[in-house]
Structure 1
Amino acid sequence: MPFDGAPVGFESSFERDFLVSCRIEPRIRKVRAQQLQIRYLDHARMTERRYTPDFVVDLQASADVPFTRVVVEVKRLEDLWRSRRDMRAAYAAARVWAWKQPATIFKVVTDLQMNSGWLTNAQLLSPYLDRPHDADLIELIRTKMRSLESARIRELVASVTGRGFSSHRTLAAIYRMMALGELQCDRGLPISSMTWVTFASGRR
């Protein structure tokens, strides 16, 4: 899975879905897969063990969020429940390790959190990050949005189409800008032609 030009590995469709969601989150700067090993003592078995979390996610610093790095384990709720005894010590060690690091937390992400409109919208928008795009068309949309500040997608498409660009190309450019966070919307709601978008300058 490409992330800012660098491939990030995954081992399941659920991990892939997590990466897709990460790709359209503007605060996320980098994702690394299985590059952290945490040593801990399993007191139940009295043995030293190693735990490798699925991902380490680096975030842009923000006054609203007190951390800039998230150590992530991606687990379906059913699997989390089934493995709770075996993984309890590992997760506890990860939380302690994260607590000792600056601006770091440990989080288990489950399908209960992922099965939402956010994931559906991420699956829609993410592919447009990898497709060729027309810089002139995107600049035209920026100019239009600077004057409008907000508009429904269908209104924005109609205002740009006819200036040498088809509605299909215009919509693709809008989706790319939404994936990058340059055009913002309520991503918890299904994206459609009636979705309102607002312009956010200075996004990646």
Structure 2
Amino acid sequence: MQSIKEPNSCDKFNSAPKQTRKINPTRRSVSGQYAFRGDRAIPFESTLERDFLVRCEFDLSVLDVIPQPVEVPFTDSNGGKYIYTPDFLVYYHLGTGSHVNYPKPLLIEVKPTEQWRSHWRKWLPKWKAALRYAKFQGWGFHIYDESRIRDISFKNIRFLDRYRRMNVDQEERDQLIICIQEMGSCSIEYLLARYFSGIYKDRGLALIWHLLSVRKLECDISIPLNVSTELWVPEHG
């Protein structure tokens, strides 16, 4: 079995799992390569897996995502011996946490709701094996379906994406970031009233959406975005 001696230690992992199974194009679902943070391409086998990667890319607490990370042996209900390869392993930044209470890496299986509800009895042995394997490594194991991936956060992320490549005024950009840093946090409504009143409101709002999309500003992405949304400058990103 592959192992990690110091999970998430100092946000580095020298012996982390690597992709164990090559993903080939298939006619049964949409597959491809997702350009993760402009650094490397991560393969996906469905639109739901792609959308999971979109969420991970936006989440500043996510350090890295390893596709097809490990091979887990298991025995099915009929005694057959098989190998199960979960979809992803997600590492998180240590942040301000301690090495005692660090954010555990997560072994992830991405599965549409209809599929896991229809086949959960058949798939339960391999998922139990993955849970045991993850615990042994000091990780967690979760199954992600549409309810965990395509929620309000995902809708907000997709909305902000249209502003990511927008050309912005550097002076206005820096002014907003410095203001929020000095205040600790403030609402979008406050920034618009202070810097973009009247006919400039739409331009100011677009600039704020852009700064959120490129992760120069942070907010609670799990609730609907509006002028009452509180903003702050992220610790890393």
The TM-score normalised by the length of structure 1 is: 0.79
Identical aligned residues as a percent: 23
In structure 2, what is the equivalent of residue 49 of structure 1? 82
Paired residue secondary structure (1:7):
strand
After TM superposition, give the deviation of residue 37 of structure 1 in Å. Answer: 3.3
The residue type paired with residue 185 of structure 1 is C
In structure 2, what is the equivalent of residue 14 of structure 1? 48
In structure 2, what is the equivalent of residue 186 of structure 1? 220
Asked whether the equivalents of residues 61 and 68 of structure 1 are also in contact (C-alpha less than 8 Å), the reply is no
In structure 2, what is the equivalent of residue 89 of structure 1? 125
Q: How many residues align?
A: 198
Distance 1:53 1:132 in 2: 40
In structure 1, what is the equivalent of residue 8 of structure 2? none
After TM superposition, give the deviation of residue 97 of structure 1 in Å. Answer: 0.9
Paired residue secondary structure (2:44):
coil
Paired residue secondary structure (2:43):
coil
Q: 1:153 aligns with which of 162, 168, 188?
A: 188
After TM superposition, give the deviation of residue 114 of structure 1 in Å. Answer: 3.0
- Structure 1 residues 135, 46: CA separation in 2 closer, same or farther (over 3 Å shift)? farther
Whose strand proportion is higher, 1 or 2? 1
After TM superposition, give the deviation of residue 115 of structure 1 in Å. Answer: 4.1
Paired residue secondary structure (1:72):
strand
In structure 2, what is the equivalent of residue 76 of structure 1? 112
Asked whether the equivalents of residues 72 and 133 of structure 2 are also in contact (C-alpha less than 8 Å), the reply is no
Describe how 1:1-204 pairs up with structure 2 within 5 A: 1-5=34-38, 6-34=40-68, 36-62=69-95, 63=97, 66-102=102-138, 104-126=139-161, 128-129=163-164, 135-157=170-192, 159-161=194-196, 170-179=204-213, 181-192=215-226, 194-204=227-237
After TM superposition, give the deviation of residue 183 of structure 1 in Å. Answer: 2.4
Asked whether the equivalents of residues 38 and 97 of structure 1 are also in contact (C-alpha less than 8 Å), the reply is no
Asked whether the equivalents of residues 75 and 110 of structure 1 are also in contact (C-alpha less than 8 Å), the reply is yes
After TM superposition, give the deviation of residue 179 of structure 1 in Å. Answer: 3.8
The TM-score normalised by the length of structure 2 is: 0.70
After TM superposition, give the deviation of residue 196 of structure 1 in Å. Answer: 2.5
Paired residue secondary structure (2:103):
coil
**CA RMSD after TM alignment:** 2.8
Asked whether the equivalents of residues 23 and 126 of structure 1 are also in contact (C-alpha less than 8 Å), the reply is no
Q: Give unpaired runs (5+ residues) of structure 1.
A: none
After TM superposition, give the deviation of residue 203 of structure 1 in Å. Answer: 2.3
